[in-house]
Amino acid sequence: MVEIRDPIHGYIRVEGIFQELLDTPEIQRLRRIRQLGFSYLVYPGANHTRFEHSLGVFHLSSYFENRVGEDAELLQIASLLHDVGHGPLSHVSEDVLRKYLRIEHENLRWLRNTKCGEVVEKSGYSLREISEVVLGRKYPGELLNGVIDIDRMDYLLRDSHYTGVAYGIFDHLRLIREMEFFGEKLMILEGGIQAAESLLISRFLMYPTVYNHHVSRIAERMFSRAIEYMFENRELNTEEFRMMDDYTITMRLLHSEGFPSEIMKMINERRLFKRALYVNLSSVSADISKMNVKRLERRIAEEVGIDPLYIIVDVPEDEEREFNVPVKTSKGVADLEELSPLVKMLKDAHKATRKIGIYAPKEIREEVEKISRDILGIERVKIQKSLEERWS
């Protein structure tokens, strides 16, 4: 048995099968994967790892031991393993995993024939069973992959702590106290409505401030473009990439030739692409849902006269489902949005904050902006008159 001091939750006790899992190379690898990817370029303290986060989620799962009964061990194993499939720099490599490995990071079947897989089999559970819980498809997986879950609770608190941004703070202990399973459906009790609102507000504020900060998004998209280039040119294979961490992929890029090396050096020196266009989706007259991003990048590049590798179109995913929270009341089950005008406002505000970004090297930013506005049908907003002009 070991007790690990955590800055968010205090001492976390790990013993038995969980300690065996913790000591496997697959989980130890998470010590070398940043939780927030390139957010350290904006917030220098954001160097915490997926290992710390996994420990935190494991700790929070222990609060539900009595509520899930005989499935407590299953939940705790899944909690410890829920992020073991992350690629280098966490969500930065998510699109790469999806495109080239055709899997989500929650799928754990790749752990077969690994030390971690051996320990899981020893516990009596199958990797498939653990994966289904991590994906939220099997009870009690809603606690790990639901609208309000312990994964989200830990990363909001942890990311807020390490970035120094106070928006991620909420009463997680109150919220945990007011969460209950009815059959195999996880619900919030009436006493937890304010705590649930607080979590959703925290998440809403953390996205534009931290997760979708334009600097980190630009670095992420540049990195992803370099990785895709290596895959397309067979300089990297899927199995090799799966086992890499932040350090090994960085060195691999730096020691490659041409575009990948150039991009990694630019990121390391913080010489990033700039925002040629960065506007709300509502400003775009074209139908974003039908937009072919690669085709748009090629068209812009062709008109500018530059290699399409240096034009990045960034359209964030729609996450509207994140607001659908069932609440158990004395009159039955209702959606949190029905009971909370605040949540309904958040849902509407979320739609208004989605932005499309088009990034390019500094030297061609203005030209890319003009061409992008013409293609997407976006009018240039008039600059407000100076004080001198207004009062003259």
Whether residues 188 and 235 share a domain: the answer is: no
Q: Say which CATH number the domain at 81 has.
A: 1.10.3210.10
Q: From CA 259, how far away is CA 304, in angstroms rounded?
A: 19
Whether residues 181 and 239 share a domain: the answer is: no
At 189, phi and psi to the nearest 5? -80, 160
Whether residues 146 and 280 share a domain: the answer is: no
Instruction: Report yes or no on 343 lying in a domain.
Output: no
Whether residues 148 and 284 share a domain: the answer is: no
Whether residues 205 and 220 share a domain: the answer is: no
Instruction: Report yes or no on 47 lying in a domain.
Output: yes
Query: How confident is the model over 37-51, as pLDDT tens digits?
Result: 999 999 999 999 999
Whether residues 237 and 277 share a domain: the answer is: yes
Query: How confident is the model over 148-176, as pLDDT tens digits?
Result: 999 999 999 999 999 999 999 999 999 99
Query: How confident is the model over 165-224, as pLDDT tens digits?
Result: 999 999 999 999 999 999 999 999 999 999 999 999 999 999 999 999 999 999 999 999
Instruction: Report yes or no on 326 lying in a domain.
Output: no
Instruction: Report yes or no on 325 lying in a domain.
Output: no
User: Which pLDDT score is estimated for 387?
Assistant: 43
Please state the pTM of the whole predicted model.
Answer: 0.92
Lowest mean pLDDT among 69-73, 105-109, 329-333, 369-373: 105-109
Helices (H), 269-364: 293-304, 336-339, 341-353
The tally of domains found in the chain comes to 2
Instruction: Report yes or no on 340 lying in a domain.
Output: no
Q: Name the 3-class secondary structure at 359.
A: strand
Whether residues 226 and 294 share a domain: the answer is: yes
Whether residues 207 and 222 share a domain: the answer is: no
pLDDT at 371 exceeding the cut of 70? yes
Please answer whether residues 230 and 254 qualify as being in contact, where contact means their C-beta atoms are separated by less than 8 angstroms. no
Q: Which residue has the higher pLDDT, 28 or 89?
A: 28
Q: Which of 194-203, 315-324, 351-360 is the most confident on average?
A: 194-203
Whether residues 188 and 220 share a domain: the answer is: no
- Residue count of the chain, please give it: 392
Whether residues 199 and 219 share a domain: the answer is: no
Q: From CA 187, how far away is CA 61, in angstroms rounded?
A: 16
Helices (H), 164-270: 172-177, 193-206, 214-232, 238-242, 246-254, 259-268
Instruction: Report yes or no on 342 lying in a domain.
Output: no
pLDDT at 388 exceeding the cut of 60? no
**Residue-range definition of the domain harbouring residue 181:** 2-212
Q: Say which CATH number the domain at 235 has.
A: 1.20.1250.30
Instruction: Report yes or no on 383 lying in a domain.
Output: no
pLDDT at 350 exceeding the cut of 70? yes
Please, what is the angle between helix 214-232 and helix 259-268, to 10°?
160
Instruction: Report yes or no on 389 lying in a domain.
Output: no
Contacts of 44 (CB under 8 A, 6+ apart): none
Radius of gyration of the chain (CA): 23
Q: Name the 3-class secondary structure at 88.
A: coil
